[in-house]
Each structure stands twice: as structure tokens, then as C-alpha cells.
């Protein structure tokens, strides 16, 4: 049985074509353009690359991005002041604070300072709580992207046992809540979980969100499972040992080209949704 490959790159491309039409219509109707403000603190090369990719994605659909670069020595107070300035700027419709920030900054305080209606990356406690309670909110971009990818391939989650390996505030925890809201039965595992292979073996859907290369072994995963790998590490490997699963799993997200493109795509989609509300 060859696994169905969940092609995030293609899904994102198709979504971008639709978003470009919506942006063009918004511009024609109102003269306004959705703008995503990106904040990069310090000079981490990987973070700089991610921010550049997000700016490029904005431009591909006709939106604008406002790139703000702050020095490595920035304090929490200085970053909070910049966020407040962007909250008050009616021309800015979404705010992205690139993770991680330098150690001296209180990252959680800065995330939570982002206005809820501009939290298009889904990083605030308020946004998480509203999403978990099934109230209107922008979901954390990676798990929301995963949900969109599963939906695009008509993968039904109702009644399925989903095992999420990882509990980070912007991936594992919101992923579990989104799956629960989709009527799945959810188990959350993490670095302190005992007998991890036994939990993984029970999964109808396994989500690797732990941030360690190929921690989850192919032999732990049952035949016919849906395999979602949200990791990406040097050498092009994810959090799950994927190679042996292509002829055993029901469906699989490749690394690269699966979850990654859907993360940025969801950020852009949610920025446009915010722009439509604020401009339209």
C-alpha cells in the first residue's frame, strides 16, 4: 500500500492563487493593501531567513510586509514599545514576532502584547484560549496549517485516536486542541512520557512535534496510520523516521514539502483575513 503524500507545497501554491485574486479585489474595491509587520530581534541567520520567506510570500499574493529589525541588545521594554506602536498603526493588519528572541527578553510578555485582532501567527494566550473554546481566533500557524492540509485531502479526524508528540505553546498544545475540536480523541506525549513507543503504536494519526531528529521510529507506527511530521532538521529529516513508512502508512507529510509550506501559507491567509476585516 503506497501512502497518500500530503503535498503541502502544492496545497500552498493553490491557496496563494486564490489569495492573490482576493487581494486584487480588495485593492480595487477599497484601495487598501493588507500589511504584515515582521519583527526580527538579533541576527540569527535561520530567523532572518524565515522572516525573508514570509515577506516574499506576502509579495507573491500582492500584500505588503513591513520588516522591522532590532539589535541583539534590545530590552523587553523596547520591544514592547515597538509592538504597541504597531498595534496603534491602522495600516498594519498583522504582527509577527519571530521566535526565538534573545535571552534577556520576556518573550511571553511580548507575544501577549500583540493585539488580538493582529495576532495572525496565533501566539497570544488570549488567542490560544479563544481557539480552544472554539471562539473566533487566529490559530497558531503551524497546527492550523496542518489542519488545513488534512482537510484538503479529506482526512476525517472524527473519532480517531490522535497522538501528538510535543507540547510547545505554539505547536504541540494548540495542535492537540485543534484535533480535539475536530472530534478526535487526543493523547499528548512529551519528553517525560514513559513508554513512548506504546502510545505511538495506538495512534490512528501521529503528529511529530517534538523538535528532535527522527525521535519517533517507523517501527512504532501501525500500518494504515496518518503520519504528520512537523519537524525539520539539517539533512532534510523531520521528527519521524519517514522513509520506511511510505509503503505502510495511509497518508504521510513529506519533509521537506509537507507541513513547512503550510505554516507560512496559513500566516499569509490569516493576515489577509485580518486585512479584510480591518480594511473592508
Q: Is 222 designated active site?
A: no
Residues 6 or more apart whose CB falls under 8 angstroms from that of 17 comprise: none
The binding site comprises 166-168
Q: How many CB atoms lie within 10 A of CB 274?
A: 22
Q: Is 10 designated active site?
A: no
The binding site for NADP(+) comprises 166-168
Q: Is 121 designated active site?
A: yes
Which of 7, 118, 119, 121 is labelled catalytic?
Answer: 121
| 105 phi and psi angles, rounded to 5 deg | -95, 140
Secondary structure, 3-state, the chain = CCCEECCHHHHHHHHHHHHHHHHHHHHHHHCCCCEEEEEEECCCHHHHHHHHHHHHHHHHCCCEEEEEEECCCCCHHHHHHHHHHHHHCCCCCEEEECCCCCCCCCHHHHHHHCCHHHCCCCCCHHHHHHHHCCCCCCCCHHHHHHHHHHHHCCCCCCCCEEEEECCCCCCHHHHHHHHHHCCCEEEEECCCCCCHHHHHHCCCEEEECCCCCCCECHHHCCCCCEEEECCCECCCECCECCHHHCCCCCEECCCCCCHHHHHHHHHHHHHHHHHHHHHC
Which of 7, 98, 229, 239 is labelled catalytic?
Answer: 98
Residues marked as catalytic: 54, 98, 121
Amino acid at each position: 500500500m503506497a501512502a497518500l503524500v500530503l503535498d503541502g507545497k502544492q496545497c500552498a501554491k493553490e491557496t496563494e492563487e486564490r489569495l492573490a485574486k482576493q487581494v486584487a479585489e480588495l485593492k480595487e474595491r477599497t484601495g487598501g493593501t493588507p500589511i504584515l509587520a515582521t519583527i526580527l530581534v538579533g541576527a540569527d541567520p535561520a530567523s532572518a531567513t524565515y522572516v525573508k520567506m514570509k515577506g516574499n510570500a506576502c509579495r507573491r499574493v500582492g500584500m505588503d510586509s513591513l520588516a522591522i529589525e532590532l539589535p541583539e541588545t534590545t530590552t523587553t521594554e523596547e520591544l514592547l514599545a515597538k509592538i504597541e506602536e504597531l498595534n496603534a498603526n491602522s495600516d498594519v493588519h498583522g504582527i509577527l514576532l519571530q521566535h526565538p528572541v534573545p535571552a534577556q527578553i520576556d518573550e511571553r510578555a511580548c507575544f501577549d502584547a500583540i493585539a488580538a485582532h493582529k495576532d495572525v501567527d496565533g501566539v497570544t494566550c488570549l488567542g490560544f484560549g479563544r481557539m480552544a473554546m472554539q471562539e473566533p481566533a487566529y490559530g497558531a500557524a503551524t497546527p492550523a496549517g496542518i489542519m488545513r492540509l488534512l482537510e484538503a485531502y479529506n482526512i476525517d479526524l472524527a473519532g480517531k485516536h490522535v497522538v501528538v508528540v510535543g507540547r510547545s505553546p505554539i505547536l504541540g498544545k494548540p495542535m492537540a486542541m485543534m484535533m480535539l475540536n475536530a472530534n478526535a480523541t487526543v493523547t499528548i506525549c512529551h519528553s517525560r512520557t514513559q513508554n513512548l513507543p506504546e502510545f505511538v503504536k495506538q495512534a490512528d494519526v501521529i503528529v511529530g512535534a517534538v523538535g528532535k531528529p527522527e525521535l519517533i521510529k517507523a517501527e512504532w507506527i501501525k500500518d494504515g496510520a496518518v503520519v504528520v511530521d512537523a519537524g525539520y532538521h539539517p539533512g532534510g529529516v523531520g521528527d519521524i523516521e519517514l522513509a520506511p513508512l511510505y509503503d505502510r502508512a495511509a497518508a504521510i507529510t513529506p519533509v521537506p514539502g509537507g507541513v513547512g509550506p503550510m505554516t507560512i501559507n496559513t500566516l499569509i491567509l490569516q493576515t489577509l483575513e485580518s486585512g479584510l476585516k480591518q480594511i473592508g
